[in-house]
Structure 1
Amino acid sequence: MKRLVILLCLLALAACREEAAPPPDAVSLNTDAVGHFCQMTILEHPGPKAQVHLEGLPGAPLFFSQVRDAIAYQRMPEQEGVIRAIHVNDMGAAPSWQSPGADNWILADQAHYVVGSERTGGMGAPELVPFADAGAAREFAARHGGKVAMLDEIPDAAVLEAAGPGVAGGDVGDEDDFAARLRKLSNERQN
């Protein structure tokens, strides 16, 4: 009898246990996608992109102009939403650096990243360059510098520290430099 009660309890516990839901699918990149931090159309920027899917917002991910920014968002202590999935462009399947692709998404925790390469992302900051294939990541690192790492091996400093002088997200520098960059941007938009 005792064994039967234990067996029934185990079966009841197993039945009550919820199966983990699979991560949401990536959303195709289109002209409506704007960067979460910059609020700019991300198709206007080169380099790999990312999308973060939050619980309670099905089919409406937060898009990021740079992979680095999405990983920073994930690691920020003030980030409160439950992240269901982060998808990043597989740059091994990307048409080019200028056009990283609309549907070549891979889960961020399964990607092989080149960290510290000479390539900068869409906002001009150092970029984490994701690949589905480790060999493709090593080839990219051989051509452009950097080291290959998995997501959990990327140091916080690579995504949370300022990008440097004159780079979006970094120190602005002196006021004259900032004013000159604003004038240049304003002139570009007028032309």
Structure 2
Amino acid sequence: MRIVTLRILGALVAAIVLAGCNQDTANSVAPPPVALNSDAMGVFCGMNLLEHPGPKGQIITAGRIDPFWFSSVRDTVAFTLMPDQPRDIRAIYVSDMARAKSWEDPGATNWIDARKAFFVIEGRKQGGMGAAEAVPFGNREAADAFAAANGGRVVPFTEIPRDYVLGSDTPGDQSQQERPAIRTN
């Protein structure tokens, strides 16, 4: 009887462990991006994204059905760095400006995984809210061409400086004065 109970208990523990592994595998697949639409309101500004030029961002979390929308890529990156924001991020998408119609019309469906994009930072182009922007591209050649035309430098997602997205509001200004670009309270 005791051996049967131990076997049943062992089988139960194994089933729970395997179920947990399968759940982790299912959650590791990034959900697809959502097409930009008239319902997309910026998390920080509360404004409709379609009213602003330049690249946009969306973050999909496990704890929310709709994505968090951002009127600029800078705000998208800042969200990932703020300790009081959700940590259950499943996907981060940004406008692929290599496939955008124009700066005024960055596109509704040309999203790229932010962690795979190339970003032009410290350039002259301002984002949707008139602040310095991290302009994303799906390929290095397009990012290099944009940087040559608009100034700045090309970096991957992991190398966007924290101070660049959380600091100064002026494009290309890396002054000593640090003003938080985003208020969270």
Same fold at TM > 0.5: yes
Q: 5+ unaligned residues in a row in structure 1: which ranges?
A: 1-11, 172-191
The aligned residue for residue 110 of structure 1 is 116
Partner letter of residue 34 of structure 1?
M
CA–CA distance in structure 2, aligned partners of residues 121 and 70 of structure 1: 11
Identical-pair percentage: 46
Q: In the alignment, residue 164 of structure 2 is paired with which amino acid?
A: A
Consecutive unaligned residues in structure 2, runs of 5 or more: 1-13, 171-179
Distance in 1 between the 2:143 and 2:130 partners?
21
The separation in 1 between residues aligned to 2:85 and 2:63, in whole angstroms, is: 15
Corresponding position: 1:135 with 2:158? no
2:161 to 149, 155, 167: 155
User: Alignment length, in residue pairs?
Assistant: 155
RMSD: 2.0
- The alpha carbon displacement at 1:162 in A equals 3.5
Q: Which amino acid aligns with 2:62?
A: E
Whether the aligned pair in 1 keeps the contact of 2:28 and 2:90 (CA below 8 Å) is: no
CA drift of 1:32 comes to: 1.0
Q: Indicate if the aligned counterparts of 2:61 and 2:86 stay in contact, CA closer than 8 A.
A: no
Task: List aligned pairs for 1:26-37, cutoff 5 A.
Answer: 26-37=33-44
Question: TM-score scaled by structure 2?
Answer: 0.78
Shift of 1:54: 1.1
Answer whether contact 1:117 1:144 (CA < 8 A) is retained.
Answer: yes
How do residues 1-191 of structure 1 correspond to structure 2 at under 5 angstroms?
Answer: 16=18, 17-18=21-22, 19=25, 20-58=27-65, 60-164=66-170
The Cα shift of 1:80 comes to: 3.2
Partner of 2:4: none
